Structure 1
Amino acid sequence: MGRDRRAPARPLRGGRRDGAHPAARAIVAPGAVTVAGRDVRVAAVVVAWREPGATLEAVASLLASTIAFEPILCVAQEYEPDDLDALERALRGHEVIALADNIGFAAAVNLAMGRALAMGADWVLLLNNDATIDPTCVDRCLVEAARHHRVAAVGPAVAYAHDPSRLWFAGAAHSRRLALVWHRGHFARPGNVPASADSDYIPGCCVLVSAAAWRDVGPLREDFFMYYEDAEWGERARARGWHLRYLGELLCLHAMALSSGQDGSRLLAESAAYYLERNPLRYARDTPGPLLRLSRTAGVLTVWTGYNLTRIRPSQWATVGWAVAQGIRDGWNGTMGRRQADDRAPRRAGATGER
């Protein structure tokens, strides 16, 4: 599936940086922090599809963290040799997993999570390569997790990178009956960040995941390829008695789905339209029990499809509208994995992340 390219090792950083958040936990060893009276090891995973410049910015924000990750794992998909070399130089002492093909966000996360857990991580931060974090982000998330019982994941408030005055995520809801998902606090001002609370799911853009929960709940659904896998994982986690916590502090900026061509806009690009239509429908169709399956399927095909259709630019109805129709067809029939049209698509500049 790919090859590991590990940069020459050097000691990871330790100690607290000047100007760290006063609530940050003290580092006791590289990659280990003290939380609730015990030492925990924290790793980080960055999933990248092309766009090396954005990936380097995400990595730089991790390296500036008030804790030292052990290790940072970057899954670099479809990278040119020179870009891989630059990434390895930036991640000296950590690890780059180079893949010749785009295997999808879910599969890339599962690959890196397996590696991180095998190396002894207690918590793993998942970060999009089009996102950056505040230096105290992981510290604050660990503190939030320690305050509650059986926390599977914690995610902070996230704002748009192109407009930090607007929130992208401040908690999320997942309708059990209609299979609909939405972000709370969307487009709210950062001065009015909603308070911390339980969340039905935490988006994969920036989420600190418990290794114990991951082992109990299982990996992401790889057949989704990208989109909706975080909501589905959150439902499984909650069904097993875990809690997912939204942290009411703005600690992450997100460039927002550049991989699918949205570039911070609510308007859908062709690739995003396909997966956002197909995956919720497949989730609904996979529901055990005829009544709930009917309710979820109806919710997706009426409310969700209707909403997606309002997000198509008039000049792109022929392509994006057709992608929505293909998503309905494949979601209904169970044709999953990477969209065939994406397999034939040429490389293009400005594509980053999988969210």
Structure 2
Amino acid sequence: MKQVTDKDVAIIILNWNAYDDTFECLKSLEHLTYPYFHVFLVDNDSQDDSFKKLQQDYKEGKFNLDITFIRTGANLGFAGGNNVAIKEAYNQGYQYFWLLNNDTVVDPNALTPLVEVLEKDKQVGIVGSKIYYYGTNKIWFAGGKVNTWTGTSAHIGFKEEDKGQYNQLKEVDYITGCSLCFRKEILETVGYMKEDYFLYYEETDWNLKSSNNGWKIVYVPESVVYHKVSISTGGESNPSPYVAFYDIRNGYWMVKSTQMKYKWMTAYLYKYYKALKKLIKIAVCDYDRKLLRIKLIIKALYE
């Protein structure tokens, strides 16, 4: 085990049945201008031999990176899988942690400005990148905003062509887990991400709790990442049936977990409105497995 310094960043990537995406993501990290980092590659119980292939690639010298390979032994979801590696890196003494989706490709300068902002202001707890749709100049994320009355979140700049309109460093409500860098003190004051969310809103919950504890959440436009967008959940045009379930249930859970009780009722009522919209969309759109989608929406309301 190498000696960890105050400048070292633990880059944490979660793989699940996605050899090609994870391989490309890892290759892009080879070109980072920030030199002090170590990759923790976590496998969430892949069933396609992708993790074995990536380990073999590493043994054959196909990655010019230092990588620690970790198996969870089960699909623990986004928070659970990432938490395994975060705990390992924390125990090794890392000061900074960068959560990065495996279906991303990073600009060579993506990490440097994130660390610079954290080092410049000790009240900044979480920072994140400007994220484009893969291979385009179209924005996917330029900071996040949360409506704590309804339990919904939104990406600033979503689907806009980038004309420099979001080139200012600014405080935001949350940073997406697609590219989220944080300091170790977040773990010591807020704790780890809640694992019972499984998918969606776990990092939003975490951001809100960090903000409630006095930490600044900052969008850093100089850090650029390209995202293939929801590969593991079917993409934006054909989402998995489970996406609606987690969206409805977890948005409400987030409000209950982070807000005062008077906001619980508005979020509770809003989830029924959200469910109705999704049911209408299922009826109108050419989705597969419609009955399963309807059952999961009803289950989300119950839970």
Same fold (TM over 0.5): yes
Pair 1:307–1:120, CA change in 2 (3 A): farther
Equivalence for 1:177: 149
Equivalence for 1:326: 296
Q: CA deviation at 1:317?
A: 6.4
1:63-212 equivalent positions in 2, closer than 5 A: 63-77=30-44, 78=46, 80=49, 82-89=52-59, 90=62, 93-161=66-134, 163-194=135-166, 195-212=168-185
Matched length: 295
Structure 1 residues 54-63 or 189-198, which shifts more? Answer: 189-198
- SS across alignment from 1:253: strand
1:264-303 equivalent positions in 2, closer than 5 A: 265-284=236-255, 290-302=261-273
Residues 303-339 of structure 1, C-alpha deviations (whole Å, 9 max, x = no match): x4355457657221653x7435424424533xxxxxx
Equivalence for 1:18: none
Distance 1:277 1:324 in 2: 12
Residues 3-24 of structure 1, C-alpha deviations (whole Å, 9 max, x = no match): xxxxxx8x8xxxxxxxxxxxxx
**1:58 aligned to which of 21, 25, 41:** 25
Distance 1:328 1:232 in 2: 23
Distance 1:144 1:111 in 2: 26
For the aligned residues, what is the CA RMSD?
2.6
Residues 201-259 of structure 1, C-alpha deviations (whole Å, 9 max, x = no match): 11110111111112211111101111111111111000000011001236100011110
Structure 1 residues 139-148 or 202-211, which shifts more? Answer: 139-148
Q: CA deviation at 1:301?
A: 2.5
Distance 1:119 1:248 in 2: 30
Distance 2:280 2:31 in 1: 40
Equivalence for 1:42: 9
- Do the aligned residues in 2 keep the contact of 1:31 with 1:68 (CA within 8 Å)? no
Distance 2:257 2:109 in 1: 40
TM-score, length-scaled by structure 2: 0.87
Residue identity opposite 1:67 in structure 2: Y
- SS across alignment from 2:209: helix
- SS across alignment from 2:163: helix
Distance 1:309 1:249 in 2: 40
- SS across alignment from 2:186: helix
- Do the aligned residues in 1 keep the contact of 2:146 with 2:154 (CA within 8 Å)? yes
Q: Which runs of 5+ in 1 are unaligned?
A: 1-8, 12-29, 33-38, 334-355
Distance 1:286 1:123 in 2: 25
Structure 1 residues 145-154 or 49-58, which shifts more? Answer: 145-154
- Do the aligned residues in 2 keep the contact of 1:198 with 1:244 (CA within 8 Å)? yes
Residue identity opposite 1:190 in structure 2: D
Distance 1:134 1:328 in 2: 42
- Do the aligned residues in 2 keep the contact of 1:152 with 1:214 (CA within 8 Å)? no
Residues 124-161 of structure 1, C-alpha deviations (whole Å, 9 max, x = no match): 11111001111111111122233434111111110011
- SS across alignment from 2:7: strand
Distance 2:118 2:260 in 1: 34
Q: Which runs of 5+ in 2 are unaligned?
A: none
Pair 1:82–1:230, CA change in 2 (3 A): closer
Distance 2:119 2:37 in 1: 20
Pair 1:243–1:289, CA change in 2 (3 A): closer
Pair 1:278–1:142, CA change in 2 (3 A): same
